[in-house]
A and B are shown apart, each in its own frame.
Chain A
């Protein structure tokens, strides 16, 4: 399996833009998905594939990728965006999936 690396914690001022990154060799071959998890709740998919938002996810969430790094950008962060964010992709073999360690986002 391969690893995906995320910063443990990131903060953003209310209404500002924040980028959460995920690094890993397998990202050169596979897109990342992004999940939001609030305390005591199941994860929710926010970005899938190149930059696809499931129904109900606000358009302030977007995804991008370059080389071995995938990014989740929140443009105009809101208080309800405070949560843990996880990236996920396939490993280099394509058979297993792997999660990043998660990033705790604080909205100030």
Chain B
């Protein structure tokens, strides 16, 4: 079955960078789009970004455009988000999800705090 495992979360100061990873298994990763979705503490879900199966198309939420960059490595079944210029309002659990948002990982917590 589909298995998605996020890693790379932690505590970081405002203005700094962090890179999250998502390890995928149980499906043909190279033919599936992928997404990052986040959830701030006690708040709702927010779509962050999505990438096509071949990385030719990348879309971002307005709130992260210009600061976050998504990428993938189909040879390693890995999906990434590089988060720069982090702000306190980026504090959230970050989930990776398979195309169509059909399957989700358990999330990794990012805390941006001074």
B-binding residues in A (CB < 8 A):
1, 33, 35, 37, 42-45, 48, 54, 84, 86, 88, 95-102
Task: Across the interface, name the chain B residue whose C-beta is closest to A98.
Answer: B47
The distance from the CB of B92 to the nearest CB of chain A, in whole angstroms, is 13
Q: Which of B11-19, B21-29, B78-86, B96-104 contacts A (4 or more CB under 8 A)?
A: B96-104
Q: List 7 A-B contacts (CB under 8 A).
A: A42-B105, A84-B44, A88-B45, A98-B47, A99-B46, A99-B47, A101-B44
By a CB distance below 8 angstroms, the chain B residues around A102 are 44-45
We find that the number of chain B residues with CB closer than 8 angstroms to chain A is 20
Closest 9 CB pairs of A and B: A97-B47, A102-B44, A42-B104, A99-B45, A95-B59, A101-B44, A86-B45, A45-B102, A42-B106
A-binding residues in B (CB < 8 A):
35, 37, 44-47, 50, 59-62, 95, 100-107
Q: How far is the CA of A84 from the CA of B61 in the complex (A)?
A: 22
Contact in complex: B107, A97 (CB < 8 Å): no
By a CB distance below 8 angstroms, the chain B residues around A95 are 59
Contact in complex: A96, B101 (CB < 8 Å): no
Q: How far is the CA of A85 from the CA of B107 in the complex (A)?
A: 18
Contacts A99-B44, A99-B45, A101-B44; A88 near B101 (Cβ below 8 A): yes
By a CB distance below 8 angstroms, the chain A residues around B46 are 99
Task: Across the interface, name the chain A residue whose C-beta is closest to B57.
Answer: A95
Contacts A43-B95, A95-B59, A97-B35; A88 near B104 (Cβ below 8 A): no
Contact in complex: A43, B100 (CB < 8 Å): no
Contact in complex: A96, B95 (CB < 8 Å): no
By a CB distance below 8 angstroms, the chain A residues around B101 are 33, 35, 43, 45, 88, 97
Contacts A42-B106, A97-B35; A48 near B100 (Cβ below 8 A): yes
